[in-house]
Amino acid sequence: MSAVTVNVTTYTSAHTIAHVTSKMLLLLKEIIREVGLDPSKLADEWENLERGVSTWLKSRHLNQLTLEIYNPRTDSLVSRWDLDVIYGYGNDETFWADTEAIRYSITKAGMVASQCNYRFIIYTSPGRPDVSGWGPCTALSTEGFSRFSIGSAIGGNGIGTEISYWKKV
Amino acid sequence: MATVVTRTVASMPQRTAVQTWEKIVAIVAPDPKSPARAELQKAAGVAAASIASEAPKDDGFIIHGNGPQVRVYCVFGDEAVSGDGVNEDALQASPTEGDWQMSVPCLQEDLDWSQKKLKSDTKRVTARETGEGVAANESNNRDPSAALSVNLQEFLKS
């Protein structure tokens, strides 16, 4: 009888936070690039975003990370992408992210004019710890827009992310 | 004879993309007050985007120009957590002193903006498409005996 050695990887909550945080930012990069905008601004803000998202995922205050694409001349919304956080999602010790689904959905959501600008908004529950570089803001109006759900985009052993976009109808 | 030194850093989910970059910087620019640290900080966003895309899995960050060429790869997933294949040991000599350059691996779809962004922010860090190499002889082997090692990932590819 031969012995069989099986290596089992045990993931911790820190692994989940690192995975979901990095993949949420990866999805933002994919969306920004695929809708026709320059991800350079995201690169400038990557560290701030990572600090905010990981801190509030860890404290479980993070509810939604939003990418607002707007017309800088009129300060009006052009398109919006929401990454909703789901706590208690799939406790099966698997980590995954589906960027292909995003690319497919962008063809439906449509490209935006290259003159558009973008910014990031994080929605949190009350009582969140403060994170440097982040302050209160008001989201642009979504009046006249409809929200379309794409579905699950990230899974990470207890935390998942569902993605949706807003389009003018 | 050109020499190549490799290191392999544990990335996601052991570390976030930024934490992975910080570890890479600590290896290639060990002095926190060095000019190289400040220069590499300018490339943090593009580097984090590269890491999040898992571009450095098979195509390392390449540092050349001062001593042996240094290639820093990343491992992801189970390997990052278990530490299999990870080598984050300090280098014998800093490759970012004097006249050095770093090349960041980028997926083809990220190459254009990454190159433009790095060009506007830093004179020492550039981006290349995954699959493209930097010639091993693009280094000054001031002390060829100092750090000669087998580049296992390149060897296994051949």
- pLDDT tens-place string over residues A82-124: 999 999 887 677 888 888 878 888 887 888 888 999 999 999 9
pLDDT beyond 90 at A62:
yes
Query: What is the C-alpha separation between A102 and A31, in angstroms, rounded?
Result: 7
Instruction: Domain of residue A40: give its range.
Output: 7-136+144-168
Which tens digits make up the pLDDT trace of A32-61? 999 999 999 999 999 999 999 999 999 999
> What CATH number does residue A153 fall under?
3.30.900.10
A46, A51, A56: best to mutate for the B interface, most B CBs within 10 A: A46
Query: Pick from A15, A29, A47: which is nearest to B18 by CB?
Result: A47
Those residues of chain B that have pLDDT short of 50 are 140-150, 158
| Domain membership flag for residue A1 | no
Domains: count for chain A: 1
pLDDT value at position B133?
Answer: 81
* Cβ pair A42:B45 closer than 8 A: yes
* Cβ pair A95:B77 closer than 8 A: yes
| Domain membership flag for residue A32 | yes
Work out the percent of chain B whose per-residue pLDDT is above 70. Answer: 84
pTM for this predicted structure = 0.89
Query: Pick from B14, B16, B110: which is nearest to A54 by CB?
Result: B16
| Domain membership flag for residue A115 | yes
Q: Starting at the earlier edge strand, list the strands of the sheet with A76-89.
A: A95-97, A145-156, A158-168, A76-89, A62-71, A117-124
Q: Is A149 near chain B, with CB under 8 Å?
A: no
Work out the percent of chain B whose per-residue pLDDT is above 90. Answer: 80
pLDDT value at position B154?
Answer: 54
Residue type, position B143, single letter: D
Work out the percent of chain A whose per-residue pLDDT is above 90. Answer: 72
Nearest CA-CA partner of A86 in A167, A24, A10: A24
Query: What is the C-alpha separation between A50 and B18, in angstroms, rounded?
Result: 8
Instruction: Domain of residue B136: give its range.
Output: 4-155
Query: Pick from B13, B81, B113: which is nearest to A33 by CB?
Result: B113
Query: What is the C-alpha separation between B10 and B15, in angstroms, rounded?
Result: 7
| Domain membership flag for residue A45 | yes
| Domain membership flag for residue A2 | no
Domains: count for chain B: 1
Å from A94 to nearest chain B CA?
10
Backbone angles phi, psi at A46, to 5 degrees: -55, -45
